[in-house]
Amino acid sequence: MAVATRRLAALTAADPEVAEILEAELQRQRQTLELIPSENIASPAVLEAVGSWMTNKYAEGTPGRRYYGGCEQMDRVERLCQERATALFGAEHANVQPHCGSTANMAAYAAFCRPGDTILGMDLSHGGHLSHGASVSFSGQVYRAVTYGVRRDTELLDYDEIHEKAMAERPVVLMVGASAYPRTYDFAHLRAIADEAGARLIVDMAHFAGLVAGGAHPSPVPHADVVTLTTHKTLRGPWGGMILCRQEHAAAIDKAVFPGHQGGPLMHAIAGKAVALRAWGQPEMAGYAQRVVANAQALAQGLRDRGLRLVSGGTDNHLMLVDLRPLGLTGRAVQEALDAIGVTVNRNAIPFDQASKFNPSGIRLGTPAVTSRGMGPAEMTEIADLVSNVIGDLGDTGVAAAAQRRAHALCEAHPLPYA
Ligand SMILES: *Cc1c(COP(=O)(O)O)cnc(C)c1O
């Protein structure tokens, strides 16, 4: 693309190989219906901030207390980012330095726990995140991890089980949040359980932070000791993490981030986070969170109408899980068939899945990215139709070709916000 090449003028001159890869990826994003619920489309303003000379600066420490000279502008941008985060989420303190959601969680645990302490988090196979106690993650290796899940009959969080395990195990931290849970949480109930068990409550809103920012999901901030989040998912910012907490925990959190788990902060990312946070108060993001949820409802309805079973029957947020077992299909086969026609989803375990982790029985779909492209409920019905056609006739080249044309037409009608 001529315009994109001009945008990458210095890169194209210095390194045509990498420039060509960036061009190819932009083309892929332009021509793909992105339904992976953890992905989104950052604004051109965010990209400018992240792609700037802010990457040149070391700024270990916190605003006003740096270990390096020359940090005047670093202090300004980080303070601005903190102020915007606390205002947007109604939090007392924000640490905006975590490089990603996993390091935010690392620091959050470390603020309260010592190695070997017990943490109670959601089972990975029921929708939890690796960093909530999985044995292959630091969280299951540094801490003694106990897990809870969803009920077999309703596929909703089992609050009785959480209560029982919290009282039996007396964890230092009760961790709440998930990567593949299509419903909201009863944060007041979880707070009460944590209090009764003498545990700290950490809520990881990596996935739904943008829905909270836009008022389309209950906020955990009034209930939790600490809230962690990513800035690149529904929040629509640059790749990164963030921690919100009560003032009483501010010093412990800040120390756990630096020097506990990170060195210098990514100041270009912090500039981008500040830009993304501001957008939530601007017309461009007004109603975005509500549209993401309304689109998820429409997509879920469309899939159900076409005979697909959704875990827990539907969704309250931006994502849903399709159970492929009734069709005798696997997640990998469906993911690959959709990939081939320009629709990106990810295979995912569903609760009580008997299949292998590498080829689980579900796919996970979400609406943040297609909503960012300006699509609405009518387009969601169109997506439900073409996706279910492919799933219903897996391997039929005629069906695949027709679905590909329809997916492509949706992308053409709803371009990315990049020149
Ligand atoms: C995505 C996610 C994270 C963080 O992921 P990173 O890739 O480390 O940014 C943390 N918790 C949950 C629940 C997530 O879904």
Is residue 416 classed exposed, middle or buried when 0-12, 13-18 and 19+ CB atoms within 10 A define those classes?
middle
CA-to-CA distance for 377 and 259, rounded, in angstroms? 47
* Check whether domain 286-413 has CATH 3.90.1150.10, yes or no: yes
CA-to-CA distance for 313 and 137, rounded, in angstroms? 31
The closest residue, in CA terms, to atom 4 on ligand 1 is 101
120-143 residues labelled b (16+ CB within 10 A) or e (exposed):
bbbbbbbbbbbbbbbeebbbbebb
Which residues of the chain fall below pLDDT 50?
Answer: 1-4
Is residue 397 classed exposed, middle or buried when 0-12, 13-18 and 19+ CB atoms within 10 A define those classes?
exposed
Q: From the CA of 10, how far away is ligand 1's center (Å)?
A: 33
Give the model's pLDDT for residue 328: 95
Q: How many residues does the chain have?
A: 419
Side chain identity, residue 77: V
The closest residue, in CA terms, to atom 3 on ligand 1 is 101
* Check whether domain 50-280 has CATH 3.40.190.100, yes or no: no
Domain boundaries of the chain, sorted by first residue: 50-280, 286-413
Token pair for residue 395? 């391997």
CA-to-CA distance for 34 and 370, rounded, in angstroms? 6
Give the mutation target among 97, 102, 138, 319 for probing the ligand 1 site: most ligand atoms within 8 A of CB. Answer: 102
Ligand 1 atom with the smallest distance to the CA of 233 is: 1
The closest residue, in CA terms, to atom 15 on ligand 1 is 179
Side chain identity, residue 218: P
Give the model's pLDDT for residue 7: 81
